[in-house]
Structure 1
């Protein structure tokens, strides 16, 4: 079973806040967090891109466990502002996964990299995992990012994720569920970000769609 797929009951419980897909999943929520397939114009890296905003922002330290990897491909454009947006997008993804893995809706990374509706949805998503007694393991690939800037403090990022090498894990027993899933492992994300006074690009809205053909292949 691919990562972030929860039992139907848990998915339904989170639907009101997250607009999840029928199978449920950390990707299909009303606060953006997925990507687009296609662009292969750069080297792939397993580590998160370094945050480009000033160190004065006092960013929370986020370290994922050794059995979990967020892999970012073609995550730099060569434009300083766009790269800063992408770096904070990656940090936001890592922060979300960190909160899920720790089962902590108060994890500092959430309020640091999210705001407004996206923050509310992210907290609800983490809580859905906690209630389902689920965690996850494996590698999730993020790729084909497209950044659109609007002025100096607003941007949108569309990207894809591939969860085919990620699996749910029971939080209590640590048993990994590798049952094959009929749901697509590909998720398309469309996000809006706003730059705060500390120079951090925070995600304010996020929409995702599992199985979008843009990300497959």
Structure 2
């Protein structure tokens, strides 16, 4: 399904910055260790918390809750580098925060502004409002995979990853009708993101670019 068109149009890095995603932070990646389990999501290879469960509110972090008929699955492995692993985790929570705002029908959720900042935040608000104006939500499962993370200094990270939207579908909240669109090349998206660690140690997504239908992400 094509469930993020507004976000993709609104969020854009410059061409130079997008190229930087693969060029900066040339530190080598450590061997994979153990799979992360994201609250409110699934790792795809073992039983995980229900999608309706919340992300832990430890350290002053907001809870993120999903309805029972929708979930995001994040497939990545820990790198062994504390900064990279923290950025990866907060990247997934940024994605969840945007979807939570859709499910709650409000851009005034605590998590949206907690995990997103600058252009990413303003564009996420525009994106969520696009759902709200059409009275839409989504159901099913969206899978995120093929993560790569590079650091730039102590406080910036660039993360690329793919998404598979073939099992998630738009739903009209008023009628309850689900748009069961067929799987096409556009069901797969390549994302390039920039994250900046703020004064509280949160890796906020500040920018994002994407390539819908990318051959890199297609099976």
| Shorter-normalised TM range | 0.7 to 0.9
SS in 2 for 1:63: coil
Residue 192 of structure 1 corresponds to 194
Within 1, Cα distance between the matches of 2:77 and 2:179? 30
* Contact 1:44/1:71, CA 8 A, preserved across alignment: no
**Backbone CA RMSD of aligned residues:** 2.3
Q: 1:44 Cα shift?
A: 7.9
* Contact 1:183/1:211, CA 8 A, preserved across alignment: yes
Would you say 1:176 and 2:175 are equivalent positions? no
Residue 3 of structure 2 corresponds to 4
2:11 to 26, 30, 39: 30
1:211 to 189, 210, 213: 213
Within 2, Cα distance between the matches of 1:163 and 1:215? 11
Would you say 1:156 and 2:158 are equivalent positions? yes
Within 2, Cα distance between the matches of 1:85 and 1:79? 10
Residue 71 of structure 2 corresponds to 69
TM-score scaled by structure 1?
0.77
SS in 2 for 1:184: helix
Unaligned runs of 5+ in 1: 6-10, 21-28, 33-40
Within 2, Cα distance between the matches of 1:77 and 1:66? 31
* Contact 1:31/1:191, CA 8 A, preserved across alignment: no
Q: 1:173 Cα shift?
A: 1.9
Q: 1:31 Cα shift?
A: 5.5
Unaligned runs of 5+ in 2: 14-31, 44-56
Within 1, Cα distance between the matches of 2:122 and 2:210? 16
TM-score scaled by structure 2?
0.77
SS in 2 for 1:96: helix
SS in 2 for 1:111: helix
Residue 37 of structure 1 corresponds to none
Number of aligned pairs? 185
Task: From the superposition, tell whether residues 68 and 19 of structure 1 become closer, same or farther in structure 2 (CA, over 3 Å).
Answer: closer
